[in-house]
């Protein structure tokens, strides 16, 4: 079981993640356009650079605190997984984890103001706090 992050550790990871994404985006230049968020994430994961590797390792650390966006596509997947319990249990956790990471990176990419970045930190920290509270109950 992973040790829970403290609030300062979470803030440090989020700040480092944002800085690594800014460095990666500067390295890509303005001429590179991605069809969708998944393409951006796949390019990021396949790109060999210090900032790309740093982003992936930071995502590994904060993954338990990343919110899951309930889009129509994700809702349909949840429903299919609930109906087809033989097929989905093995493959769905990995898919949901990757989808959450893609959606979170997309939200970070679109955060243009310090307030928007602070809001994303607040959401992740709220999840962290809830897990911390639950750890004391168990």
Q: What is the pLDDT of residues 19-54, one digit of tens each?
A: 888 888 777 766 778 888 888 888 887 776 777 778
Residue 93 lies in a domain: yes
13: left (phi over 0), alpha (psi -120 to 50) or beta: alpha
Residue 28 lies in a domain: yes
Residue 81 lies in a domain: yes
Residue 22 lies in a domain: yes
- How does residue 71 score in pLDDT terms, banded at 50, 70 and 90? confident
The pLDDT assigned to 92 comes to 63
Distance CA 129, CA 107 (A): 21
Q: Shortest CA distance to 4 belongs to which of 135, 96, 137?
A: 135
More confident residue, 27 or 14: 14
- How does residue 124 score in pLDDT terms, banded at 50, 70 and 90? very high
Residue 82 lies in a domain: yes
Residue 2 lies in a domain: no
Domain that holds residue 28: 7-137
pLDDT for residue 122 is more than 90 = yes
**How many CB atoms sit inside 10 A of residue 119's CB?**
13
Q: How many independent structural domains does the chain possess?
A: 1
Distance CA 98, CA 91 (A): 11
Residue 1 lies in a domain: no
pLDDT for residue 79 is more than 80 = no
* Mean confidence (pLDDT) of the chain: 82
The pLDDT assigned to 2 comes to 66
Our CA angle for 36, 101, 6, nearest 5°, is 145
Residue 65 lies in a domain: yes
The pLDDT assigned to 25 comes to 79
What's this model's pTM, rounded to 2 decimal places?
A: 0.78
């Amino acid at each position: 079981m992973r040790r829970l992050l403290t609030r300062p550790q979470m803030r440090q990871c989020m700040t480092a993640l944002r800085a690594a994404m800014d460095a990666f985006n500067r390295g890509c230049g303005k001429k590179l356009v991605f069809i969708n968020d998944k393409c951006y994430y796949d390019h990021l994961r396949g790109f060999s650079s210090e900032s790309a590797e740093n982003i992936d390792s930071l995502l590994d650390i904060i993954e338990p605190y990343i919110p899951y966006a309930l889009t129509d596509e994700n809702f349909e997947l949840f429903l299919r997984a609930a109906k087809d319990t033989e097929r989905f249990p093995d493959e769905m956790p990995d898919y949901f984890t990757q989808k959450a990471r893609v959606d979170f990176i997309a939200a970070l990419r679109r955060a243009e103001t310090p307030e928007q970045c602070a809001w994303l930190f607040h959401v992740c920290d709220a999840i962290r706090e809830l897990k911390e509270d639950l750890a004391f109950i168990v």
